[in-house]
Structures are given as C-alpha cells and as structure tokens.
Amino acid sequence: MKIHEYLAIDLFRKFGIPVAGGRIAENVSEAVAIAQEIGYPVVLKAQVLVGGRGKAGGVKLAKNKEELTAHFNQIKNLVIKGYSVDKILIVRALDIKKEFYSAVTIDQVKNDVVLIASAEGGVDIEETAKSHPEKIHKYYFHGHNEIDLKRWPPFIKAVFPDPTLQEPATKIFQKLSNLFFEYDCSLAEINPLVIDHKGELYAADAKINFDDNALYRHTDIQFLRDMKYEDPDEVEAKQNDLSFVKMEGNVGCIVNGAGLAMATLDIIKLLGGEPANFLDVGGSSNPKKVLNALRIILQNKKVKSILINIFGGITRCDDIAMGILQARKELDIPVPLVVRLTGTNEKEAKKILAENNINTFSTMREAVQKVVELAK
C-alpha cells in the first residue's frame, strides 16, 4: 500500500526526521496563508501516487503571492497519468547545496533489509546505479531492527566523507530505519535528502510503501489509503476475496491460483486471443465466489466470451459447477461460457454441468482454443 507524500512527511515528523516546514492546501487561500506563515520562496507539490510528477509540471517554485496563485491554479488543473490533483503540498523552498539518495527496503536475494544511500541523489539515481554502481552504498541489517554502530563507520564515511555530516546523517538513517521496522514498510525512501548552505540536512521528499500482509498490525495506517487510486472493480473483487486485474482484451477468465491464472492469460494470447482480465478465485470452494467473479467480469462490456479454468486441489470442481449454475440463475450472462475442470471431484462436476447442457473440457488447450474462437 502506498500513501501520499504529505502523509509520509507526517510520519517523518513523528519519528524526528527533519523536513522543510509546510503543509497541505486544498485551495488558493489556504496556500497563501501557509506561504505567509513559512515565508517565500515556497515549493508547490501536487499530491499524486504516480511517478513522473515533476516532468508533468506538478512541482513548481513560487517567489511571491502572484506566482503562488498562478502555479496553484495551474497544478490544480493538471491531470497526471489519468489522475486529477486534489491536494497540493506547500513547503518552504530549501537552499540546496547538495542532494543525496537514501532508502530502506527489502533485498529479496539476500533475504534481508538494506539501507541504500548515494551521494548522487535526485531523479537520475537509477542511471547512476547502472553506470556507476560503486557510487551506491549498501548497509545490511543482518536481521536486526536497528543499525549496528560497530559495522556502521565504513558505510557512513563512504556516503558522507565530510565528518561534520556523519553524526546528523546517522541520526536520520536511524530514525528512517526505526520507521521502516515499526510500520512494516516495504520501502521508506528519501530522495533527495538535501544539505542546505547552512550545513543542515533535510528530507526534501518522502515516499513510504507498506507491506499489505502486515497491515493487520497497523490499524492507524490502513485508513491512509487513497481509494481514488484503487480500481472500483478491483476493490469489489478484493472485498469478495478475489484477486482481479482488469486488462485490455475481450476474453474474460476465472482461474484458481495465481500461477495458473497467469499461464492461462499467456495461452489465450499464444492461441490468438486477448485476455480481458486476470482473476484468481483463490483456494476456497465457496460457490458464491464463482457468482461474484462472473458478475465482476460481466461489468466489462468488452468481454465476448468467458473461460472458467479450474484445477481442483483444495478447490472442489463440483462446488465450482454449483457456482456456475447459481450464477446462470441469478445473472444475465449474455456471452458464452467455456468450462474446463480437472482434479478433485471432476466427475461429479461434469455430471452436474452435462445435466444442465453445459459442455466441459478436460485440457487447457482445448478450452482456450474454444474461448478464443468464440470471442472473434
């Protein structure tokens, strides 16, 4: 789960990470009041949860009230990667001397938490990582929840050769990692971490992502989600315990298991079709799930045929068959259904469906061929 920059900044403040003064404005008069309070120049930052904000014109500097008003109205009317701007963050413009990169995240290969930092901050950091990997420094936590000061000096000296910066930077990194561990983050990033001409360090941006699996232990965080960034069909699917992602094609599909669902999309494509969605009904056998899945898929009017591909393990094929019958009763299904059932209670399922004039296939290839043909 992602949260907006201004909410991430609130968490930075809570953990004592220095940030530039300022707060969120929803209209021009609020923006002007904030600017008067913190003093010009100020930076306006569109609050959107998509990348490329700066390039889209979502970040502007204002030296006075006139500029602030003009920029505010301009940013407020932007549409960044399909999203309108509801809130704009107004912060004091920092007198930046140098920018650094820093982030705490998970290294899946090393099975460990890592702090990454570089004296080359800013938007080109990924380029730097490729062209000059020696400029990226990494500190591994070795399973501990805090920085081990015994192993720390080589890292901090590499990122901050200036000894006067090492202590304040260490404090920021300690606080950033505290935040990371306390809130089960998957990412806590400061890019850039800046030093101003007085030699003070500030987080000039804040990005925090949380581990969805751990949200149950952070009830205060769950409410920070911006529902605007959630596809309504996907939200509805999640509420029904289904995993759903909308796609561009016209062949709908319902599959059990994420791996088999991905493979099904690949084979639809391989045999000349275009999938309309990814939908994993998960491991349970509840017939209601099939009904809900069909209802969500049918909301997409592009869909011309639907494949139900089930490999019964925990999922029992006869439960799926009952779900299909129930769905036919309760829903208007204007497109053909192609059903492939194999595994646990396959025979019972095929019998139930045959009695109701629904043909089934045993192999994935046959079923996909049929559903693709029907969508043409």
Active-site positions read: 101, 189
Element (H, E) at 209: strand 207-210
- The residue (of 114 and 158) whose beta carbon lies closer to other proteins is 114
DSSP tally for the chain: helices H, then strands E: 13, 18
Minimal distance, residue 185 CB to other proteins, in Å: 9
Cβ 104 to other proteins shortest distance, Å: 8
Between residues 85 and 113, which has the closer beta carbon with respect to other proteins?
113
Task: Based on the shown chain and the rule CB under 8 A, indicate whether residue 140 belongs to the binding site for other proteins.
Answer: no
Minimum CB separation of residue 141 from other proteins in Å reads 8
Nearer to other proteins, 65 or 138 (CB): 138
Of 41-80, binders to other proteins (CB under 8 A) are 51
Rounded least distance, CB 32 to other proteins, Å: 32
Distance CA 339, CA 256 (A): 13
For other proteins, the closer CB: 29 or 145: 145
Please tell me whether residue 359 adopts helix, strand or coil conformation. coil
User: Could you tell me whether strands 136-140 and 96-107 are parallel, antiparallel, or unpaired per DSSP bridges?
Assistant: unpaired
CA atoms of 372 and 128, how far apart (whole Å)? 45
Round to whole Å and give the CA distance between 233 and 239.
10
Site string for other proteins, 255-294 (x = CB under 8 A): xxxxxx-xx-xxxxxx----x--x----x-----------
Q: Least distance from C-beta 357 to other proteins, angstroms?
A: 27
| Sites for other proteins among residues 77-116 (CB under 8 A) | 101, 103, 105-109, 111-114, 116
323 near other proteins (CB under 8 A): no
Compare residues 72 and 180 and give the one whose CB is closer to other proteins. 180
Name which of 11 and 90 has its Cβ closer to other proteins: 11
What's the CA gap between 359 and 5, in Å, rounded?
53
Minimum Å distance from CB 94 to other proteins?
A: 20
What does the radius of gyration of the chain's CA atoms come to, in whole angstroms? 26
* C-alpha dihedral, 248 to 250 to 254 to 257, nearest 10°: -40
Q: Which of 96, 119, 158, 247 binds other proteins (CB under 8 A)?
A: 247
- The distance of closest approach from Cβ of residue 200 to other proteins in the complex, given in angstroms and rounded to an integer, is 24
Q: Which stretch binds other proteins (CB under 8 A): 36-44, 59-67, 88-96, 306-314?
A: 306-314
182-187: long-range contacts (C-beta < 8 A, 24 or more apart)? Answer: 183/11, 183/208, 183/210, 183/218, 183/221, 184/210, 184/211, 184/214, 184/215, 184/217, 184/218, 185/104, 185/209, 185/210, 185/211, 186/105, 186/106, 186/210, 186/211, 187/103, 187/104, 187/105
To 10 degrees, what angle do helices 346-355 and 317-330 make?
30
Q: Which stretch binds other proteins (CB under 8 A): 76-84, 161-169, 347-355, 362-370?
A: 362-370
Whether 273 contacts 302, CB under 8 Å: no
Q: How many residues bind other proteins (CB under 8 A)?
A: 63
What residues between 163 and 222 interact with other proteins by CB under 8 A? 181, 184, 186-187, 189, 191, 207, 209, 211, 213-214, 216-217
Q: What is the C-alpha separation between 64 and 70, in angstroms, rounded? A: 10
Does 342 contact other proteins by CB under 8 A?
yes
Helices (H), the chain: 5-14, 28-38, 65-76, 125-131, 153-159, 163-182, 219-222, 232-239, 258-270, 287-298, 317-330, 346-355, 364-375
What does the binding site for other proteins look like in residue numbers (CB under 8 A)? 51, 101, 103, 105-109, 111-114, 116, 125-126, 129-130, 136, 138, 142-143, 181, 184, 186-187, 189, 191, 207, 209, 211, 213-214, 216-217, 245, 247, 255-260, 262-263, 265-270, 275, 278, 283, 311-314, 342-344, 363-365
